[in-house]
Amino acid sequence: MKTIAIIGGGVTGVTTAYALAKRGFAVTLLERHRYAAMETSYANGGQLSASNAEVWNHRATIVKALQWMLRSDAPLLVHPHPTWHKLSWFAEFVSAMPNYHRNTIALARMAVAARDHLFQWADDEGIEFDLQRRGILHIHRDRAEFEHAVTVTKLLERGGVPRRAVTPDEMRAIEPALQGACYGGHYTQSDSSGDIHKFTTGLALAAQRHGAQLRYQQQVVQLNAGAGGVDVTVLQGDSADTSRYDAVVVCAGAASRDLAAQLGDSVNVYPVKGYSVTVHLEDAASRAAAPTVSLVDDTVKLVCSRLGADRLRVAGTAEFHGHNRDIRADRIAPLTDWVQYNFPEVSTRSITPWAGLRPMMPDLLPRVGPGKAPGVFYNTGHGHLGWTLSAATADMVASAISSSWEAVRQRTASPLKMA
C-alpha cells in the first residue's frame, strides 16, 4: 500500500487526507498544533461562497489599496515596509491582471464542483457544522459598486454560479433584520454558510475512521525528495525524527512557500491576514435581531454568517504584513462597528476576536497538483476561498496521485514483447 504524508491539518489538509483515505491509501497527516483546524480554519467568515469567486487582480484593487494605505482601519492594508517576498508577490499579482476574467470563471467552476463533494461528505459522515443553506446576499452601498457587481455576475454565470440583482426592498425581504442604507444587492441562492472548525474537525475524525493516521504536535522542518520517496523530518520537543513516504502533499497554508523551496518548487504563497469577531448572542433580543442569511458588504469587504442560535461571525479585511499574527484593536473595531450600524439591536458586549493568515497565490488560483520531484504534490494557496474550494481541490489532488501511480503500475506490469 502506498504511503502518503499530508503536511498541514487545516481544511485543505484534512479534506486531502479524507479523499486519499477513501481511495485506500495509507495516509499520515502531520499537524504542528495539538488539534486540527487551529489556524486559518479556526474562525473564518463561515461562508461557502461561490459568489465570492471574483479574483482580486483588477485595477480597482490597486487604486483602493493606494487610497487606503494611511488608514489603519482600511479594508485592505498594505504595510509599506518592503520585503522581497512582498515585492515579488505584487509583481506577479500585477502580471496576472490580464487573466482576471478567465481566472474568475475558473474559480467559480471549482467552487461549484466543491459544493457537491462537501455536502456529500458531510452527509455520509454525519457531520454537524451549523450549515445554513439560505444563500448569500451581497450588499452594495452605491451605484458604481452595484454596476461593477453586474459585470462580475456575468462572469460567475459563465462559471455556473447564477445570482440575481435585488432591490433594497427585496434585500430586506430576504433578510428582514438588515438595517442601514444601501443602493442594491445581489443574491446567490445556491451559496451557504457554516462553522469551518466544526466541519474540519468532524472530517478529520471521519478520515481517521477510514484509516488515516492523525499525528498532532508534529512540526515539519525538512523535506527531501529522491528516487525512493520523500523523507519528512519532524521536530517533537528537542528531538527530530525522519520518516520516508512514497509521496507527500503540501497543504501547509502560509508555510507552503518555504517547504516548497526545499523541494525545488516555487509556490509564492503570501500570508494575507484577516480578522474576525464571534458575537455571542446571549440575550433573546440579540438573537432575534441578528441575521440568519449570510451577508457580504462589498464596500467594506466584510462578511457575516449566523452560526447556530447563539453566534454571529463577522470577518474580513486583508492585511499584508508578512507572518504577523497580532490581533489589533484598530482592525477589530470596524467589525463590531459594522454590526452596530447594520443590526443595532444586537449586543456586542460579548465578542471573541481572532486573526488568521490566508495563504494567497498572486493570481488567486490555488496551487494543486504535482511538483518537480517524483512523489511531491501540492494543495495550497486557496486565499479567501479556502473552505469553499477545499473539497474540489482535495478530490483533484487525490485523483492526480491515483492516476500517476496507476500509470506507473501499468508500465511496470506490462509484459515484455517477445522478439
DSSP string, 238-281: TEEEEEEESEEEE--GGGHHHHHHHTT-----EEEEEEEEEEE-
**Global confidence as pTM:** 0.95
pLDDT of residue 416: 47
Residue 213 within any structural domain of the chain: yes
Residue 418 within any structural domain of the chain: no
The phi, psi pair for 165, rounded to 5°, reads -75, 145
Q: Rounded to an integer, what is the distance from CA 199 to the centroid of its chain?
A: 13
What is the rounded distance in angstroms from the CA atom of residue 287 to the CA atom of residue 282?
Answer: 7
pLDDT of residue 68: 77
Residue 419 within any structural domain of the chain: no
Is residue 80 within 8 Å of 359, Cβ to Cβ? no
Instruction: Give the neighbor-by-neighbor strand order of the sheet with 213-215.
Output: 213-215, 26-30, 3-7, 247-250, 376-380, 367-370
The CATH code of the domain that includes 345 is 3.50.50.60
95 residue type, one letter: S
Which of the two residues, 382 and 73, has the higher pLDDT score?
A: 382
Residue 416 within any structural domain of the chain: no
Residue 13 within any structural domain of the chain: yes
Among the listed residues 393, 297, 357, 311, the one whose alpha carbon sits nearest the alpha carbon of residue 12: 393
pLDDT of residue 62: 86
pLDDT digits (tens, 9 = 90+) for 352-393: 999 999 999 999 999 999 999 999 999 999 999 999 999 999
Residue 415 within any structural domain of the chain: no
380: containing domain: 3-410
What is the rounded distance in angstroms from the CA atom of residue 333 to the CA atom of residue 374?
Answer: 48
pLDDT digits (tens, 9 = 90+) for 400-415: 999 987 776 666 665 5
What is the tally of structural domains in the chain? 1
Other beta carbons within 10 angstroms of residue 2's beta carbon come to 18
In the chain, % of residues over pLDDT 70:
97
Residue 370 within any structural domain of the chain: yes
- Bridge-based pairing state of the strands 184-188 and 136-140: antiparallel
Q: What SS3 state is found at 288?
A: helix
Residue 20 within any structural domain of the chain: yes
Q: Rounded to an integer, what is the distance from CA 46 to the centroid of its chain?
A: 10
User: Running DSSP on this structure, what letter comes out for residue 350?
Assistant: S
